[in-house]
Structure 1
Amino acid sequence: MVKRFTLPKIGRLCQSKSFQSVYRSGKSYANKQLVLYVLPNLSATRRVGFAAGKRLGSAVLRNRLKRLLREAYRLNQEKFVSGVDLVLVARQPLINAGLAQVTKALLDLSNKAKIMRKEV
């Protein structure tokens, strides 16, 4: 059977209110490229949101960064625990990064935040 790596709508944070609750009540972890906000939720699902502030540049550039973050998360989503809300925020050094660097930064922060699944 082939695994499908999709990012379903139920697994995304879409509303501003959801983002704000994660920013306010969640715990943050940061490195040079990313900031990761983690907030435990009461459901069995994991939801994720992606952000890139206006300081990073034009809309085209910010959208590219969010696409990179989405792809890095999508390819590794089975490695994360369920029951958390995540927000990934891009930082300035991410502008010149490729997918491999984004993925490495994401996985490093996830290990730091202890939201990686234990491999059996």
Structure 2
Amino acid sequence: MEKRLRLTKNFEFNLVYKKGRRRVCPLFSMYAKKNRIGYSRFGISVSKKIGKSVVRNRVKRRLREILRRNYNKIKPGYDIVISAKSEITKYNYWEIESQVVDNLKKMELWVEQNEKIE
């Protein structure tokens, strides 16, 4: 994923946590906040409670790949943070992707193919 599409600074994450909308599922919490730039950016948060570094990095890689593959279906102009929960390690890639897509749709951040992006 390109560097410009990532949230990297702590204050960016905190702003999304405080001012954004939240959606919770058993695998992760998703936060979204409208930004003033013309594209969406993403942040992934995986705490040490999830497991050792190998496990945490696998979770981050999976989430990054899901967001990369579905980037053109996500509405532009949002900062989105996904904060993983320990349950996420018990699920495979396809189940995690299904949950991410469902939550994006419920937060109205998903663009169907017949919709126009503004």
Please give the TM-score of this superposition, normalised by the length of structure 2: 0.92
- Matching residue of 1:89: 83
- Matching residue of 2:22: 28
Q: 2:92 aligns with which of 93, 98, 112?
A: 98
C-alpha distance in 2 between matches for 1:73 and 1:42? 20
| Cα offset, 1:68, TM superposition | 0.8
SS of the residue 1:54 aligns to: coil
SS of the residue 2:49 aligns to: helix
Q: Report whether the alignment pairs 1:66 with 2:60.
A: yes
List gaps (5 residues or longer) in structure 2. Answer: none
SS of the residue 2:79 aligns to: strand
Cα deviation code 1:33-70 (max 9, x no counterpart): 12110000011111001111121111221111111111
Alignment of 1:102-117 (within 5 A): 102-117=96-111
- Runs of 4+ displaced beyond 6 Å: none
Q: Percent identity?
A: 27
| Cα offset, 1:118, TM superposition | 3.4
| Cα offset, 1:30, TM superposition | 1.1
C-alpha distance in 1 between matches for 2:71 and 2:96? 14
Please give the TM-score of this superposition, normalised by the length of structure 1: 0.90
The count of residues paired between Structure 1 and Structure 2 equals 114
SS of the residue 2:70 aligns to: helix
List gaps (5 residues or longer) in structure 1. Answer: 1-6
- Matching residue of 1:48: 42
SS of the residue 1:56 aligns to: coil
Letter of the structure 2 residue corresponding to residue 54 of structure 1:
K
